[in-house]
Structure 1
């Protein structure tokens, strides 16, 4: 026997997003495990209802009109370890809080996830978005996933990471409702050292050379410190954290099409390609920290121009108006179109 998913009495999606924005769903169901997720989604599919998967709500921008369908809250918990020499494969249920997972692996002396500390949301979302920060991304560590296939209404176990089309902040799972992540597996180092420190800002903070490997706990604390300084660690009392994280992805362009701007951070992104700093483009287009949107109800973060924040009393329409202002300002100035990183639900830029 397994527990059935439960329908909640509060249908407001704003209660389940870090932006604190979004209208109601027709129905909100809390699923406590992989089987409950499959049952809830299968039931909605059988009834012909649209389905929205909600983890921590840290990467969702939901329309003020809400969602005409069933929102399934991923609440399943659980972690397991299997050691193979100097590698430990960690299996994590999709509903586990991501930063709790990172903290637990660091506490166990496992290396690999520490640079992904402080990122809000649930574990099941990390391969969908190919979450990354400070020189590490999920693709570097992911072994495989278990998926619920909505077309066949079956569970597919151990789908290899190589089949997920993992790329910069995307995968074949993003924007595709046919498959739902139920659990994930990561291969972590058991030698007590972090992943190589590749991000220059983090290396400077730690006082080490690039590519050094350090105590995972030290790397985690340094990352958390950097993220707090940018308003990127959730705090209910801090409106700079009422956001969806970085709102725009760093654009990747052919080298010959990239604007040349003094001091703009740029990185190689494959043969003939360069990745530009979205934050640098926004700043050079004349937008400053704290730049206010409609009525001051939304604004750029006072610490980091890449985050669009809700200051209280705002709407999703307010947020999108600010996003369009920033996007169009960058396009008008530099001819570069910024793309949103969050998932937009029943709304668009």
Structure 2
């Protein structure tokens, strides 16, 4: 277990933003993770758990307490069952399952971050979510001071949400278990319309696993969503805002705003999101509110490839990031009456400040 003091945290995030931590511990085993968490809890020291840092916005003042970087490793396949240590690099794990001929997470290729973060956010993209394949999650419960195993149902998954996100101070994920599918080298049924179109198939069809993964990687790269140190469009947290889910009443009011601002013939994106609810596109809202690709003149700008990503152009601060995020939120609300919600976890700062 490695320990550093007054340690920079910006290099541990994909935004490359944020001040230092009073202390940074890097844990390579589950036992070291638990020991570090217990030590912080025993002394009342604030604790920040860091995985791949791809969904994290840290304030410029940094973090007064212990930052715990989880660097555990473990990839175990037993037939179609997969167990990943929390510190495993997610993109590498997806590649290995595809190479093994197993379907279920191939469309989650290219998503930066660690395996342990995937259940917290219920990570999803291109028609797949980890909640569809996770069987259970092993975590350290800070309330009971014990290691627990939570079933899929107990994880309380929903759109970009889970029990872990609802109780952020309680659980530290140690291991994630998945049930994958052996479909004779084929992918899971393709669900996402854009993916199906590029693949030249109909939604519900299956394609070779490697082809599905490569197609998703190409789609993500075209939107600046695959990490590249030389490409500032990837110095981000991916999608900065979640897609709004609206009640029937909220969607009717939104539809009226669309007609008022964009004309009677304009129809906003609308997708079923459970009984009485409709999901619309945050990217569409941002673009139609006037925040187009490349918007901004300062050190933080909207990606030149995708309106959902706010990007660090190289010399930014977290304050710069929050300023643009607030401008976008205000502009979308003024235009359409919808308040966007940030997807990344904020530490020491808030869009509401």
Same fold (TM over 0.5): yes
> 3-state SS of the aligned residue for 1:25?
strand
Q: 1:344 aligns with which of 333, 343, 346?
A: 346
Q: 1:190 aligns with which of 168, 182, 206?
A: 182
Q: 1:218 aligns with which of 208, 211, 223?
A: 211
Between Structure 1 and Structure 2, how many residues are aligned?
338
1:83-127: CA deviation from partner (whole Å, max 9, x where unpaired)? 2xxxx1100000000000000000111101100000000000000
Equivalents in 2 of 1:126, 1:105: separation in Å? 16
Partner of 2:287: 283
Question: How far 1:266 sits from its partner (Å)?
Answer: 1.7
Equivalents in 1 of 2:246, 2:267: separation in Å? 17
> 3-state SS of the aligned residue for 1:256?
helix
Question: How far 1:150 sits from its partner (Å)?
Answer: 0.9
Partner of 2:303: 301
Contact 1:288/1:305, CA 8 A, preserved across alignment: yes
Question: How far 1:256 sits from its partner (Å)?
Answer: 2.9
Question: How far 1:9 sits from its partner (Å)?
Answer: 5.6
Output the TM-score relative to the length of structure 2. Answer: 0.94
Contact 2:6/2:21, CA 8 A, preserved across alignment: no
Equivalents in 1 of 2:305, 2:85: separation in Å? 33
Contact 1:33/1:95, CA 8 A, preserved across alignment: no
Equivalents in 2 of 1:263, 1:335: separation in Å? 16
Q: 1:73 aligns with which of 46, 63, 69?
A: 69
Structure 1: gaps spanning 5 or more residues = none
Partner of 1:46: 42
1:203-246: CA deviation from partner (whole Å, max 9, x where unpaired)? 01111100111111110000000000000000011000000110
Q: 2:78 aligns with which of 82, 86, 89?
A: 82
Partner of 2:99: 107
Partner of 2:140: 148
Equivalents in 2 of 1:264, 1:117: separation in Å? 28
Q: 2:162 aligns with which of 151, 166, 171?
A: 171
Equivalents in 1 of 2:141, 2:134: separation in Å? 20
> 3-state SS of the aligned residue for 2:207?
coil
Partner of 1:236: 229
Equivalents in 2 of 1:263, 1:279: separation in Å? 15
Contact 1:33/1:93, CA 8 A, preserved across alignment: no
Equivalents in 1 of 2:31, 2:211: separation in Å? 37
> 3-state SS of the aligned residue for 2:93?
helix
> 3-state SS of the aligned residue for 1:189?
coil
Aligned-residue CA RMSD (Å): 1.1
Contact 2:5/2:21, CA 8 A, preserved across alignment: no
Contact 1:145/1:159, CA 8 A, preserved across alignment: yes
> 3-state SS of the aligned residue for 2:14?
coil
Q: 1:35 aligns with which of 31, 36, 44?
A: 31
Worse overlay, 7-16 or 60-69: 7-16
Partner of 1:118: 110
Contact 1:130/1:138, CA 8 A, preserved across alignment: yes
Structure 2: gaps spanning 5 or more residues = 259-265
Question: How far 1:255 sits from its partner (Å)?
Answer: 2.4
Output the TM-score relative to the length of structure 1. Answer: 0.95
Equivalents in 1 of 2:217, 2:293: separation in Å? 21
Question: How far 1:264 sits from its partner (Å)?
Answer: 2.7
